[in-house]
Amino acid sequence: MKLAVFSAKSYDRKYLDEVRAARFPDLCTIEHHAFALSSETVSLAQGCGAVCAFVNDTLDARVLTTLHGYGIRAILLRCAGFNHIDLAAAESLGLFVANVPAYSPEAVAEFAIALTQTLNRKTHRAYNRVREGNFNIEGLLGRTLHGKTVGIVGLGRIGMATARIFNGFGCRLLAHDPVVDSDTFRQYGTLVDLDTLLQESHIVSLHCPLTESTRHLINEKTLARMRPGAMLVNTSRGGLIKTEAVIQALKTHVLGGLALDVYEAEGELFYNDHSGEIIEDDVLMRLMTFHNVLLCGHQAFFTSEALTEIADVTLSNLSDFVARRSCKNSLVSEGHVVVPADKEPVRL
C-alpha cells in the first residue's frame, strides 16, 4: 500500500519516515507531497491506497469523491481537529477516517502559556530592543499573573493541561464546558457559564473545538461581556473568533491583548513563506498592526515529542485499517460517522 502524504514539510517527512521504518516497516511506502491537498493537487494521490492530510488540506465532498474514484479508502488526519473534512461525504463514500486526538496536549497548553506571558510581559518587544542596544524598559510594563482570574473555554485534554499550569502560577481558575462535570475540575477552580467566565476573567483562553455552535463564539456580543482590558488567547481554531469584531474591540480598548496561534483565514497563508509577496488579507494585516497582538502560524503542537506521537498514531490508525481491526481514533468507519455529538464538525 502506498500512502500519499500532503502538505509534507521536512519535519513531517523525517518523523513519518523514521516511525514507519522503526515500527511499521511492512505497512506501507510513503509518497510525500509538499503541496496542500485540494481539487488542483488531488491527482497526485493516484495509485495510492490511503491519504494523510493536515489542518489546512481541503477534504470537501469534491476532493473526497475524487480520492474515492482513485480507489483510496482511508483518510488519515495527522491532527486532532477535523473541522476541515466533510465527514458526511466520507460516510456516504464509505471511507475510513481517523485522527490523532491527543498528541501531547501539554505541548499546546505550554504554548498557550508562552503566548500569554510573552504578550503580558512583552518579552517579544524586549528581545528586539535589547538586540539594538536599547535597554529602556518604558512601555514593557506587564501584570503579575498570581491572583489573576483565568477563564478556560473547553475543558478537554488541552484545556485541563492549561488549567494545571495556570494553577501553578497561583491564578484563580474558571472554566466553561457543556460536557465536563465540576468534580473533574474542582481541584483547580469552578465551572461557570460562559457569560460569568467572560465577565470575571483577566485572561480568556480558548480550548474548545470549532463546530457549528462554536463558530464565532467570540463576537461583538461576547466581547462586550468581557472584563475591560482582558487578554484573549486562542490556540484552538481561528474560526472561534470573529476577527473583525476583535479588531474593533482592540481599537476601542475593550480588549487589552490578543494572542493567536490560529486565524480563521489561515488556510491561504500558514505553513508557507510569503515574505516576498504582497499579502492581500487586509483583516490579517490590520490585526498585525496592533502592538498588543501576538500572532503565530499554528505552531502550538510543534514539539519533537508531539511529532513523534503524531507519526506513531497516524501509522497505527492505518495499520488498524489495513488489518481490519477496530480503530479507537476512527471518525468514520464502516460507513458510519462515529463522532460524539458534542464534537459535531462544521460542514464545509
**Residue range at the interface with ligand NAD (CB under 6 A); choices 64-72, 175-183, 270-278, 329-337:** 175-183
Catalytic pick from 91, 237, 264, 309?
A: 237
Residue of 269, 262, 287 whose CA lies nearest to 208:
262
CA distances from 235 to 152, 178, 206, 242, 252 (A): 12, 19, 7, 15, 24
For the bound state, the minimum distance from the C-beta of residue 152 to ligand NAD, rounded and expressed in Å, comes to 9
CA distances from 135 to 130, 139, 163 (A): 6, 12, 34
220 is catalytic: no
Q: Which residues make Cβ contacts (< 8 Å) with residue 141, sequence separation at least 6?
A: 122
Phi-psi region of 8 (alpha: psi -120 to 50; beta: other; left: phi over 0): beta
207 touches ligand NAD (CB under 6 A) = yes
Smaller CB separation from ligand NAD, 28 or 232: 232
Q: In whole angstroms, what is the distance from residue 252 CA to residue 228 CA?
A: 10
105 touches ligand NAD (CB under 6 A) = yes
Centroid of chain to Cα 285:
21
266 is catalytic: yes
Catalytic pick from 91, 264, 266, 309?
A: 266
Residue of 38, 68, 69 whose CA lies nearest to 53:
38
For the bound state, the minimum distance from the C-beta of residue 128 to ligand NAD, rounded and expressed in Å, comes to 24
Q: Which of 176, 202, 227, 242 binds ligand NAD (CB under 6 A)?
A: 176
Three-state secondary-structure class, residue 327: coil
Which residues, 229 to 268, sit near ligand NAD by CB under 6 A?
235-237, 261-262
84 touches ligand NAD (CB under 6 A) = no
For the bound state, the minimum distance from the C-beta of residue 268 to ligand NAD, rounded and expressed in Å, comes to 17
301 touches ligand NAD (CB under 6 A) = yes
Residues of this chain that bind ligand NAD (CB under 6 A): 80-81, 102, 105, 108, 153-159, 176-180, 207-209, 213-214, 235-237, 261-262, 298, 300-301, 342
Please identify every residue annotated as catalytic. Answer: 237, 266
